[in-house]
Amino acid sequence: MPTIETTRARHIDPVLARSFRVSARCGCFTQAARSLNIKATQLRKQLAQLETQLQCSLFNPSDNGVSLSRDGLEFQAHLIALAHERDLPVIEQPLIRLAVAEPILHDILGRDLISLVRRNASVRLDIVTLDSELSLQAISADVVVWLAGTDSPLPGPSFNVGEPQRLARLGYVPHISKRYSRVAARPESLDDLADFLLVQWQHDRQLDAFNPWNSLVDQRLAAVVRVHAYELMLEMIRSSACIGLVPHYLSQLDRGLVALPGLFEQPMERQVWMAVNTESRGQPDVQMLVELIENTFNERREWFQA
The pairing of strands 95-101 and 165-177 is: unpaired
pLDDT at 118 (0 to 100): 81
Question: What pLDDT, on the 0 to 100 scale, is given for residue 85?
Answer: 47
Q: For 258, list phi and psi in degrees, rounded to 5.
A: -130, 135
User: DSSP secondary-structure letter at 11?
Assistant: T
DSSP result, 16-82? HHHHHHHHHHHS-HHHHHHHHTS-HHHHHHHHHHHHHHHTS--EEEETTEEEE-HHHHHHHHHHHHT
- Give the pLDDT score at 140: 93
Q: Identify residue 31 by its one-letter amino acid code.
A: Q
Kindly report whether the global pTM for this prediction surpasses the value 0.85: no
pLDDT for res 17: 87
Neighbour tally for 124: CB within 10 Å: 12
| Letter string b/e over residues 262-297, b meaning 16 or more CB atoms within 10 A of that residue's CB | ebbeeebbbbbbbbbbeebeeeebbeebbebbeebb
Residue by residue, pLDDT tens for the chain (306 residues) are: 445 555 566 677 888 888 998 888 888 888 888 888 888 899 999 999 999 988 899 998 877 778 889 888 888 888 777 754 455 555 677 899 999 999 999 999 999 999 888 877 778 899 999 988 889 999 999 999 999 988 889 889 999 999 999 999 999 999 999 988 777 678 889 999 988 999 999 999 989 999 999 999 999 999 999 999 999 999 999 998 899 999 999 998 999 999 999 999 999 999 999 999 999 999 999 999 999 999 999 999 999 975
How far apart are alpha carbons 282 and 278 in whole angstroms? 8
Which domains does the chain show, CATH number per domain?
A: 6-87 (1.10.10.10), 95-168+270-303 (3.40.190.10), 170-268 (3.40.190.10)
Residue 38: per-residue pLDDT: 87
Phi, psi of 4 (to 5 degrees): -90, 115
What is the enclosing helix (H) or strand (E) of 133?
helix 133-138
The residues, any chain, with a CB within 8 Å of residue 174's CB and separated by 6 or more, are: 193, 213, 243, 244, 245, 246, 259, 260, 263
Q: Residue 304: left (phi > 0), alpha (psi -120 to 50), or beta?
A: beta
Written as one letter, the residue type at 146 is W
